[in-house]
Amino acid sequence: MMKTGFREHGSRITKGLVLFISTVLLAFPFYWMLIATFKQNLDLYTVENNPFILNAKPTLDHLRLLFNETRYVRWLGNTALVGVIVVVITLLLAIPAAYALTRLAGRWGQRLGIGIFLTYLVPPTLLFIPLSRVVALLGLQDTIWSVVLVYPSFTVPFSIWLLMAFFKSIPRELEDAAMVDGLTRFGAFVKMVIPISISGILTVVIFTFTLVTQEFVYALTFISPESQQMVGVGIPIFLVRGDVYFWGSLMAACLIASLPIAFLYNLFLDRFIAGFTVGAIK
């Protein structure tokens, strides 16, 4: 009994230590960006000053530069709008496609799913030239609708492949029982499959939105006006001028843009676990 209690106590200490170290490592980049946001320029470029603390009176000059001399708020709005639209398009296309490949395509479904996923692996550096021609023909260049058109080309294939795994884990007997009770195939899909697969759908939502915020090549190629820029392109273009890096403003911009995404990951973590649990129970 004493040995068992000692082992359990040691296991708790080990888990707590690992959790503490992981938390520190994950929080350190945000702490570094926060410190750099309020540091004086002299402290940012002076080696003698301690880089981990504020050595002088905090300053708001970096935030003033970011919000007064750039269109940072507009870039955030453009990114959020594009992210929401692309997420909706991705869900509308990926969910029925993944279900059809899993349940209705027979033995060819898996092969087709792998083929669709392979299109996601094609690098943007090979696709942006032909896609720019398509964007020009549609008259969407220099607008955010150009990236709304292009982004689903790589979010949908990966989302289909991801959702196929969730749909495969759902027993067919549940759908058969629902159809015996009077539901159609579509009704069983809506009322039975989707609620059980909510964890996979949330994963697709966060993955798609994160991919939109960090994409660079397409946004740089298709959009030129400052007012139409995405946040991932506007920050390095307008805060890096020649060999001058506005580090304080860069850190502030990255901190503000990354905190909502980090919050979403943390917020939906319990939903992911709950989704798996509900799926297992049902």
Question: How confident is the model over 73-88, as pLDDT tens digits?
Answer: 999 999 999 999 999 9
Instruction: Give the residue-averaged pLDDT of 136-149.
Output: 91
Question: How confident is the model over 33-52, as pLDDT tens digits?
Answer: 888 888 887 777 665 566 56
Pair (40, 104) in one structural domain: no
Last residue of a domain, one of 10, 26, 59: 59
Measured over the CA atoms of residue 131, residue 137, residue 140 and residue 141, the dihedral's sign is positive
Cβ atoms of 86 and 215 within 8 Å: the answer is no
* Gyration radius of the chain's alpha carbons: 24
Q: Which residue would you say has higher pLDDT here, 55 or 230? A: 230
Task: Extract the runs of DSSP E, i.e. beta strands, from 8-137.
Answer: none
Which residue type is seen at 84? V
CA distance 90 to 155: 7
Question: How confident is the model over 180-203, as pLDDT tens digits?
Answer: 877 787 888 888 888 888 878 888
Q: Helix, strand, or coil here: 53?
A: coil
Q: What angle do the packed helices 2-38 and 61-68 form, to 10 degrees?
A: 70
Which residue type is seen at 67? F
CA distance 49 to 32: 14
CA distance 162 to 168: 10
Q: What is the value of pTM for the model shown?
A: 0.82
Pair (13, 75) in one structural domain: no
Residue 55 tokens read as 């050595």
Pair (41, 156) in one structural domain: no
Looking up residue 165, the CATH number of its domain turns out to be 1.10.3720.10
Last residue of a domain, one of 15, 44, 59: 59
Strand partners of residue 245: 240
Pair (12, 146) in one structural domain: no
CA distance 101 to 14: 44
Pair (209, 86) in one structural domain: yes
Pair (7, 123) in one structural domain: no
Predicted confidence at residue 77, as pLDDT, reads: 92
Pair (37, 116) in one structural domain: no
Pair (10, 113) in one structural domain: no
What domain count does the chain have?
2
φ, ψ of residue 132 to 5 degrees: the values are -65, -35
Strand partners of residue 241: 244
Residue 51 tokens read as 């880089």
Pair (151, 221) in one structural domain: yes
Predicted confidence at residue 86, as pLDDT, reads: 95
Predicted confidence at residue 276, as pLDDT, reads: 46
Residue 195's nearest CA partner among 219, 221, 220, 170 is 170
Provide the CB-side half-sphere exposure for 33 (13 A, CA). 16
Domain of 35 in residue numbering reads as: 2-59
- Provide the pLDDT confidence category of residue 147 given band limits of 50, 70 and 90: very high
Pair (122, 22) in one structural domain: no
